[in-house]
Structure 1
Amino acid sequence: MSMPFYVSPEQLMKDRADFARKGIARGRSVVVVGYDDGIAFATVNASRALHKVSEIYDRIAFAAVGKYNEFEQLRVAGIRYADLRGFSYDRSDVRARGLANAYAQTIGAAFTTDSKPLEVELVVAEVGASASEDALYRLSYDGSVADLRDHVVLGGDAETLGAAVAERWRPGLTLKEVLRLAAEVLAHGDEQRSVPAEDLEVAVLDRTRARRAFRRVGNRELATLLGVATDEGPDS
């Protein structure tokens, strides 16, 4: 009679963590930075169909790195959670904190009980009436949640790029300033001198908008903000 294969819980969790980190490290970094009128998101992503930054609800957005099909399922689940809560109670009851807690339960359960962990890292952001009321929650592959302020970087080189953002960020930066900062940091991560505007996916949560704060920054507007030329046609 053969003996059952045994792996200690500590080794099993370490193997799962290593597996998830390797999957996340293969993804391009996402930079999330607060500015005077909201929160900006930027990442290198030439695709116009497969977004890494998306709207969840009126003043809440979602950004992710890792395995696309896994974080896309989480994005859709987040929209359903927000819609159901807003319909059942009130739109003002839909908050980033509640969504982050729901994501943490899902991701944490996958890490401990599923055959493999989710290879994803997320940010849930909510823009408030002022910068002091903005909320940023970072969710790791094991379901842990970090409540952050002002800026965060996701992805394989997050530690290095995050240090570069922290060194240069200051309160009161304009949208133009934070996007130039993000573009330069992302170019450094890709060992390029610059990243073309058409290769960037950029969106903002704009606190000055009446209800739906989320909007995407098109190539022509982005090129103007970055002070570079573009061959793209008008923004969609």
Structure 2
Amino acid sequence: MAMQFYASPEQVQRDRSEYARKGIARGRSAVVLTYEGGILLVAENITTLRKISEIYDKIAFAAVGRYNEFEALRRGGVRMADMIGLSYDRRDVTARALANTYTQTLGAIFSETQKPYEVEICVAQVGASPEQDELYRITYDGSVMDEPGFMAMGGQSEAIANVLRERHDSAAELQVALALAAEALGSVGGENGQTRTLEAKQLEVAVLDRRRQGRAFRRIAGAALATLLGHEAVPNADLGDVDSAPPAPAEPKPTVSAASADTEGKAEKPDSEKGGKA
């Protein structure tokens, strides 16, 4: 009979943490920061797979790491938000409740399964003012942190966060905040430690617009993104829209069938004219 090797619980946890951190560090980074008009979410992304998405009216989701794992978390968050909004009230859906659920889910996966999730996520909720904005950072082991105005995830997040820490201003305009986010992401990953200049096609950008009624999430791409990266302002109406809008109202259904229309208004024949026996 083969002898099983013993590993202490502390060693198992350290091995899982190292495995998850290495997996996350291999991916490209993302940053989330507040500005005067809401919350800006920027991820370095050259694929068509989304790292940034809408969860609910005022709530967005950003993630780095293994795509299939954080996509499963995102879909679960959307289902939970929809269930709460339909069962109670749309105002009962909060980023704090979603962050608590993600914390429990990732904590259970990290402790009870052999392989932890290689993900790091952010749940952001825009408020009526920058002071009311909420940014929650949830790591692979279920730890959650309430970030003060900005955060960086994945890759060399500490170096990126240092750039944001020095120059972040919650009262900055959108083009200024986007320039800072792009500069912070480009401060790492270059050859021989050199900085990079990221173009519009290398970035995935979205905002939670605090001035917008209803769904605050807006994805910025194309000409609007290139203009903002050139430090020029873009009219609010041209920023972009949500990924998908509610379906258009259906055409009213007919209230009268075609069969009844043929005989409508015709008088009933007497029995004597039907050809039957008296």
TM-score by structure 2 length?
A: 0.80
Matches within 5 A, 1:161-200: 161-191=160-190, 192-200=195-203
Structure of higher RCO (CA pairs closer than 8 Å, 6+ residues apart):
1
**What RMSD over aligned residues (CA atoms) do the two structures have, in Å?**
1.5
> What corresponds to 1:87 in structure 2?
86
User: Residue 215 of structure 1 corresponds to which residue in structure 2?
Assistant: 218
Deviation at 1:122, TM superposition (A): 0.4
Task: In structure 2, list runs of 5 or more residues that go unmatched.
Answer: 232-239, 242-278
CA contact (8 A) 2:175 2:229 kept: yes
Per-residue deviation, 1:193? 3.2
TM-score, normalised via structure 1 length:
0.94
The 4+ residue runs of structure 1 with deviation greater than 3 A are none
Count the aligned residue pairs.
Answer: 230
- Matches for 1:1-236 after TM superposition, within 5 Å: 1-48=1-48, 50-191=49-190, 192-227=195-230
Q: Secondary structure at the match of 1:42?
A: strand
Cα deviation per residue 1:132-179 (whole Å; 9 max; x = unaligned)? 111000001100000112100000200110011110112301111000
Secondary structure of 2:187's partner? helix
- Confirm or deny: 8 A CA contact 2:43 2:204 kept in the other structure: yes
**Which is greater in Rg?**
2
Q: Deviations over 1:186-213 (max 9, x none)?
A: 1112324311111110000000110100
Structure 1 regions of 5+ residues with no counterpart? 229-234
Contact 2:42–2:205 (CA under 8 A) maintained in structure 1: yes
CA distance in 2, matches of 1:103, 1:193: 33
CA distance in 2, matches of 1:69, 1:182: 26
C-alpha deviation, 1:2, in angstroms: 4.0
Whole-angstrom distance in 2 between the partners of 1:72 and 1:101: 18
Distance in 1 between the 2:229 and 2:145 partners?
Answer: 30
Q: Secondary structure at the match of 2:151?
A: strand
TM-superposed CA distance for 1:185, in Å, is: 1.1
1:164 is paired with a residue whose SS is helix
